[in-house]
Homo-oligomer: A and B are copies of this chain.
């Protein structure tokens, strides 16, 4: 880190727990590299304390913005004055910044980070067919970003019919004719199959879908970051399929954060 003085501007990342967050190391390295007199600090906030902590932080004159992680990404939207499209669509946010007039704007870069990661790995979504497993918060963010980025078709599956139908309705309303849904995974004709469920966090989790059902040359992507090599990705690699690791999403979120917080690189 560069030297912190009285002129240093603040960013804070809110989470519970907080010890595992990667953002301070990544963002501070970036801030230091570009010579910005600002620092990102970890802020441990329990859910019951979120309202009070955010109210206090909003009044801090040298605080320019917040990053938000589990479990506050949905609740934090209540404290924003305006929601960017991705935050409005997903109903969750992972970044807030103070605008010139003092209003707080929330955005969600889960989807944009995932798409940026795909592009960086040579898998531009434009014109490709996707199968997405998991219609929760991360799945919704990834689905919207893939369609926004020009995916030719998106098949979404989730074992919870209510959650699946709700997401499909909202996706079809905005991107009509490009989305289908099912309770069981349909990955057979996908160019890229994406796991957006928590399956794979634990070593004995079942596979979210069977990579053997994919055609040769398809890509298997996971949004799980730890472990880096999930059971799904190991199985896909063993089948000779291309794999795309969860960490790429975070790497490219960093670029999104830099743009959002106007950190010139």
Closest Cβ–Cβ distance, residue A147 to chain B (whole Å)? 33
Contact with B along A1-42 (1 / 0, CB 8 A): 111111110100001101111101100100000000001111
Contact B42 A18 (CB under 8 A): no
A57 interface residue (CB < 8 Å to B): yes
The answer on a CB contact under 8 Å between B20 and A6 is yes
A166 at the binding interface (Cβ < 8 Å): no
Whole-angstrom distance between the Cβ of A25 and the nearest chain B Cβ: 5
Contact A25 to B4, CB < 8 A, known contacts A55-B56, A56-B55: yes
Q: Which of A58-97 contact B (CB under 8 A)?
A: 59-63
Contacts of A242 in B (CB 8 A): none
Q: Which residues of B contact A7 (CB under 8 A)?
A: 19, 42
Give Cα A44 to B20, complex, Å: 28
Contact: B44 with A60, CB < 8 Å?
A: yes
A172 within 8 A of B: no
The number of times this chain is found in the oligomer is 2
A13's nearest neighbour on chain B, judged by CB, is B6
Contact across chains for B45 and A60 when beta carbons are under 8 A apart = yes
A44, A56, A61, most chain B CB atoms within 10 A: A56
Residues of chain B contacted by A16 (CB below 8 angstroms): 61
A54 close to chain B: CB less than 8 A? yes
A15: chain B residues at CB < 8 Å are: 6
Alpha-carbon distance between A62 and B8 when the two chains are bound, in angstroms: 20
B10 touching A40 by the CB < 8 A rule?
Answer: no
| Complex alpha-carbon distance, A42 and B61, angstroms | 10
Looking at A3, A42, A45, the one whose CB has the most chain B CB atoms below 10 A away is A42
Cα A4 to Cα B4 in complex, Å, equals: 12
A-B contact pairs, 24 of them (CB 8 A): A1-B1, A1-B3, A3-B25, A4-B24, A4-B41, A5-B24, A6-B21, A7-B42, A8-B24, A10-B43, A16-B61, A18-B61, A39-B39, A41-B41, A42-B62, A44-B60, A44-B62, A52-B55, A52-B56, A52-B59, A54-B56, A55-B55, A56-B56, A56-B57
Instruction: Name A's B-contacting residues (CB within 8 A).
Output: 1-8, 10, 15-16, 18-22, 24-25, 28, 39-46, 49, 52-57, 59-63
Q: What are the 8 A-B residue pairs with the smallest beta carbon separation, nearest first?
A: A56-B56, A1-B1, A44-B61, A49-B59, A6-B21, A44-B62, A6-B19, A4-B24
